[in-house]
Amino acid sequence: MKKINENVFNPALMFGIGLFPLLIVADNLKSAMLFGLLILCTIAICCFIYYAFKPIILENVRIPIYALIIFAGVYFLDSVVSELFIESYSSVHALVSYLFVAVIVMFMFESSKKEENFKVGFKNAILLGIEYLISLIIVGSVRELLSFGTLWGKEIVVDYVGFPFFGGIVGGLLVITIYALVYNVLSYVIKRHFKVQETLVTRYQKYLEENVKFEPQERETEEEE
């Protein structure tokens, strides 16, 4: 239960980390989805490199090392993706977008600093990437829909005049603020639900413990009688 509670968070909406890429890149669904997938791949690659070198990374020089690891991951993916998907890649403004990845990946490094187990660390990193991808997709699709009435370039609302305001930074921030409000309400409800459930479980466990304590004594007295 505790693990689920810990994973229900989004760095962009809870700590404000990674908001800039969310504002700049997620102005349509296609860019947002491609960027989100690239972030997920970068996180996975960087997590592997990070856990491979973790025992020798010193606390006092960790930030330059993080920067180099991210740089390595970014340029590896940069070369692979540019060879495979040239058309899609150019539409995402790759190099600049890739540099934006640093925020999320560095946050992943910082949050998994105390986690020694690779499996748990990798799972948390992928969850973080998926959460960020979901927020990118939601923000991107809402902004595209409101700006042009389209989704992935296809017309959804016929004869839609459109609000180009939502394609800009301020409009993007408005969408993100509303999304953050909804997210906060949902996480508040979920956390409250788990808190109530946890209290009930603790009470029941106490009740069981008390019963287990008394049971053998009762049996003994019965036998004596």
CB of 215 to another protein, least distance (A): 43
Residue 67 near another protein by CB under 8 A: yes
Distance CA 212, CA 39 (A): 51
Which tokens in the block code for residue 17? 């980390």
Residue 79 near another protein by CB under 8 A: no
Residue 52 near another protein by CB under 8 A: no
Site size with another protein, rule: CB under 8 A = 40
Residue 103 near another protein by CB under 8 A: yes
Q: Which letter does DSSP use for residue 151 in this model?
A: E
Residue 190 near another protein by CB under 8 A: no
Distance CA 20, CA 181 (A): 18
Look at residues 40, 36, 49, 37 and name the one whose alpha carbon lies nearest to residue 118: 49
Which H helix or E strand runs over 190?
helix 169-224
Residue 44 near another protein by CB under 8 A: no
Distance CA 185, CA 111 (A): 24
Residue 100 near another protein by CB under 8 A: yes
CB of 46 to another protein, least distance (A): 12
Largest Cα–Cα separation, the chain: 89
Residues forming the site for another protein (CB under 8 A): 13-20, 23-24, 60-64, 66-68, 71, 99-100, 102-104, 106-107, 109-110, 169-170, 172-174, 176-177, 180-181, 184-185, 188
